[in-house]
Amino acid sequence: MECEKIEELLSPYLEDELSLEEKKEVKKHLKTCKSCSVLYSFMEETKESLADFPELEISEDLLDRLYSIPGKKKRFKLGFDFLLRPSLQPVLAATIIVFTLISFYLFNPNKHHIDKSVSRQVHLGYSKIETLYAKAASFADSLGEYKDNILVSLKNIKLFGGNED
């Protein structure tokens, strides 16, 4: 057998997983080929060294970090984590302001003063709107009059087939 083929069989030979026939062939080759025999002994040493690496204990710090993971996850398990989305933050801020104002109004001892003041402001606003509405109506009337006058003048101009008199 060639050395390359033997190399493929060294691990199974080391772990006693070869058939009797293969085992005999490898054994025979190792007796006659020095390089394969040296390689095999180093493979044995490698396997032995690897098996000898001790299992390490983990640090207290790492244990603490690992124990804190499920707790962190639970906070988000209720399904309200969407509230923490940045896009919802302005909405949440506006809601908080509205609720603060409502509670300020509801629990204020001088509530009737606020009511009066609000009602006065509403009436003032209402009367201002009425005045504006009246002004707008008179402005629309005067515009209508101007329009009629202009139309009459145009009809009387000869250029447009009207009577100049």
Residue 99 Cβ, how far from other proteins at the closest point, in Å? Answer: 35
In single-letter form, the type of residue at position 72 comes to: K
Residue 54 Cβ, how far from other proteins at the closest point, in Å? Answer: 6
Cβ burial 75-93 (10 Å sphere, 16+ → b, else e): eeeeeeeeeeeeeeeeeee
Is the CB of 7 or the CB of 141 nearer to other proteins? Answer: 7
Q: Under DSSP, is residue 147 helix (H, G, I), strand (E, B) or coil?
A: helix
Identified binder of other proteins from the candidate list 66, 124, 143, 150, rule CB under 8 A: 66
Euclidean distance between CA atoms 122 and 7, whole angstroms: 98
Identified binder of other proteins from the candidate list 19, 20, 21, 56, rule CB under 8 A: 56
Question: Is residue 4 near other proteins by the rule CB under 8 A?
Answer: no
Euclidean distance between CA atoms 126 and 133, whole angstroms: 10
Question: Is residue 8 near other proteins by the rule CB under 8 A?
Answer: yes
For residues 164 and 157, is the Cβ–Cβ distance under 8 A? yes
Residue 2 Cβ, how far from other proteins at the closest point, in Å? Answer: 15
Residue 68 Cβ, how far from other proteins at the closest point, in Å? Answer: 10
Euclidean distance between CA atoms 146 and 162, whole angstroms: 19
User: Which tokens belong to 19?
Assistant: 């058939």
Which residues of the shown chain bind other proteins in the complex (CB under 8 A)?
A: 7-8, 10-12, 14, 38-39, 42-43, 45-59, 61-63, 65-67, 69-70, 73
